[in-house]
Chain A
Amino acid sequence: MGMPVLAMSRLAWRNLWRNYRRTLIMLLAIALGVWAMIFMTSLLRGMVDDMVRQGVSALPGHVQVHASGYRDDPSVMNSLPSPDKALLDVLNSEQVSAWSSRIKVPAMISSEYDNAGVSLIGVDPEGELALGFKADDIIEGRFLSAADDNGIVVGEKLLHRLETRLGKRIVVMSQDPENAIAERGFRIVGVFSAELKNLEENMVYAGRDVVQKMLGMGTDISEIAVLDFDYREPEELTSIIRLVLPADHEVLSWLELDPYLGTMMRVMNGFVLVWMVVIFLALSFGLVNTLMMAIFERVREIGLMRALGMRPSAIVYQILVESVMLLVLGLIIGNLAAIGTIVLLKDGIDISAVAEGMEMMGASSMLYPVLQWADLILANTVVIVLGIITSLLPAWRASQYRPVEALSRT
């Protein structure tokens, strides 16, 4: 480029601060844009992560095994035998974080005052806790102690709806394999609260062995829920489990069990890029304007540099170096501000004022920003690459000034 990079950088740096007010305003704009890119993306990621986490924990598991037809008719007719040795070997291997077998059938729950349709879930409490049921969610009483525990745990919202309380008896009614009514009385031993309030109304937990006995299922089960170590890539574990099961078993990852969530996650990456580009486009008008003003004020100087022997390409390079310096400074400030904001808000943002709307989307009322390195790199890359592209036109125009005309400007 005809001039050492260090000398060009020094000249560019000094030119940046000739009009320090304008430079500061532009820096603030870039920093704000970068902050918005990174911070808002982290909130979106956090929201999607939360939705996926909530959705996966409601399923539960990253992978589920059912009998074919169960998902269309989740009754006791479509049950599975307990896991055999081949499946147990996979489920107990290092690839699996946790697993549990469950009964899950539609049922009717009745108190003295009211009744409601629910999903009766027969669980092994140890497995259920490993799958993500949080012990802290129990707000009254206790969770089940064993798979043969005779108690029942209901949601807080359901408790109020049934106008009953901890310690009272309720009756649960469902269907057995002969299509006959199967019913049993349970004592409420625990009340749980969930971030998604609809879960409190729809799910009731009883001991797996007790439910199997109530429904006359023997040792059959409705589903096996399996937890991977990373929810983002469940396909591999799904394939491994499929290999050890007969064809009439349906093995599905959460991406297939909840296509909405899967789509959300897949769309998220594309959305993040679009979001960043849109913010940058808004920024770019200011950047171009700043560069054009800086060039306009220095037309004579640019003419001088041409007259002294700088090639047009060197003029372009000079302007680009200035632009890149401005962008890098803005990036540093914006990145620090975004990371600082995310750290400060690591305990979450309470958006319970719009909690009901969030619940419809499957997200909780606490929003936790999630910073991914890929998003950080993407934001910085978008700003630098698009920034250089945006700066090319003003830089090229500067290089095309005829020296004699430029020198004659006042």
Chain B
Amino acid sequence: MSAISCKDLCKYYQQGDAVIKGLDYVSLEIDQGSFICLSGPSGSGKTTLLNAIGGLDSLDSGEIAIDGERVDLLGKSALADLRLHKIGFVFQAYNLIPVLSARENVEFVMQVQGVGTAERRQRSLRILQEVGLEGMEDRRPAQLSGGQQQRVAVARAIVSQPKLVLADEPTANLDSESMEKLMQHFRDLNRIHKVTFLIATHDQRVMEWADRLISMEDGRVIRDELQKAH
């Protein structure tokens, strides 16, 4: 059984008289432990696909299953639970809670999960150190640069040890060194803990880290190939 199974996913948007195809009969099978990059121009459907798999957006038709469970049939609370326990998100705009510090932002998901205070603190401080933000735990997002905020968002996504990480342009504001470190961290999680990564990106350097490259255009998968990863 595949970790993620997508069958004939369709999502259309109405823009005046025109119909924009967000997803147009997209079908994919993704195994647990995969490290996949989604590439394609803006508007190709990468973000729409990530949102659909993560249960953030509804579909017009099609089926999505994660570990055999039909995501498209779940209610709001069940979807929230799925995202809480199984999925980590890294958004294009980092989306940090402005009134919480870096550490508190990282701890947020673990708090909702009910993880104890000591363990939460230990894991959040460790992960912030791993993404190169040691000493900045108590700074609020407004006191961090764009790249630092992105690293906090990444830390938040992976600290709760999800089975699946959906990342939308996670390296957009990172310098090369930070990008390399981040991708290495992702690969380590992937190899050691079998976390599945689905990363939407324009960045060729990021694509080189992937085992599998899926290219999209106008809401369709136009290429799906394995490659030798970095």
Contact = CB atoms under 8 A, between A and B. Distances in A.
Interface string B55-91: 0111000000000000000001100111111000101
Contacts of B54: 307
A173 B109 CA distance: 94
A11 B99 contact: yes
Contacts of B156: 308
A14 to B, nearest CB: 4
B111 A4 contact: yes
A49 B46 CA distance: 75
Nearest to A399: B76
B57 A402 contact: yes
Given A3-B111, A407-B95, A311 B83 contact: no
A314 B99 CA distance: 18
Interface residues of B, number: 28
Nearest to B47: A404
A11 B100 contact: yes
A288 B46 CA distance: 39
B57 A7 contact: no
B114 interface: yes
A309 B93 CA distance: 18
Contacts of B112: 2-3, 308-310, 314
A14 B140 CA distance: 12
A309 B85 contact: yes
B150 to A, nearest CB: 14
Given A402-B57, A407-B91, A301 B97 contact: yes
Interface in B98-119: 98-100, 108-109, 111-114
A306 interface: yes
Nearest to B140: A14
A304 B97 contact: yes
A228 to B, nearest CB: 59
B178 interface: no
Given A11-B100, A18-B99, A301-B97, A309 B109 contact: yes
B51 interface: yes
Nearest to B107: A7
B111 A309 contact: no
A380 B16 CA distance: 53
Contacts of A300: 95
Contacts of A307: 54, 56, 83, 89, 91, 95
Nearest to B96: A304
B81 A309 contact: yes
Nearest to A8: B111
Contacts of A290: none
A314 B109 CA distance: 13
Q: Which of A15, A18, A311, A402 has the most CB of B within 10 A?
A: A311
* Range class of the A interface residue count: 20 to 34
A155 interface: no
Contacts of A407: 56, 91, 93, 95
A407 B113 CA distance: 22
A309 B87 CA distance: 9
A18 B140 CA distance: 13
B99 A14 contact: yes
* Residue from the set A11, A301, A307, A310 with the largest chain B CB neighbour count within 10 Å: A307
Contacts of B56: 307, 402-404, 407
Contact of A304 (B57, B95, B111): B95
A308 B113 CA distance: 10
Contact of B80 (A3, A11, A18, A306): A306
B76 A312 contact: yes
A309 B80 CA distance: 4
Contacts of B76: 311-312
Contacts of B89: 307-308
A404 B83 contact: no
A7 B109 contact: no
A93 B8 CA distance: 94
B77 A312 contact: yes
Given A304-B97, A308-B109, A309-B109, A404 B84 contact: no
A313 interface: yes
B81 A311 contact: yes
Interface string A2-25: 111001000100110010000000
Nearest to B99: A14
Contacts of B80: 306, 309-312
Contacts of A7: 111
A270 B3 CA distance: 65
Contact of B77 (A301, A313, A402, A403): A313
B229 to A, nearest CB: 28
Contacts of B82: 309
Contacts of B108: 308
A287 B3 CA distance: 47
A129 to B, nearest CB: 67
Nearest to B54: A307
Given A301-B97, A310-B84, A407-B56, 13 more contacts: A2-B84, A11-B100, A15-B99, A18-B99, A307-B91, A308-B89, A308-B109, A309-B81, A309-B82, A309-B85, A310-B80, A310-B112, A404-B56
22 contacts: A2-B112, A7-B111, A11-B97, A11-B100, A304-B95, A305-B97, A307-B83, A307-B89, A308-B83, A308-B89, A308-B108, A308-B112, A308-B156, A309-B84, A309-B109, A310-B84, A310-B112, A311-B77, A403-B56, A404-B56, A407-B56, A407-B91
Interface of B: 51, 54, 56-58, 76-77, 80-85, 89, 91, 93, 95, 97-100, 108-109, 111-114, 156
**A-B residue pairs, 8 tightest by C-beta:** A309-B84, A14-B99, A404-B57, A309-B83, A311-B80, A403-B56, A404-B56, A304-B95
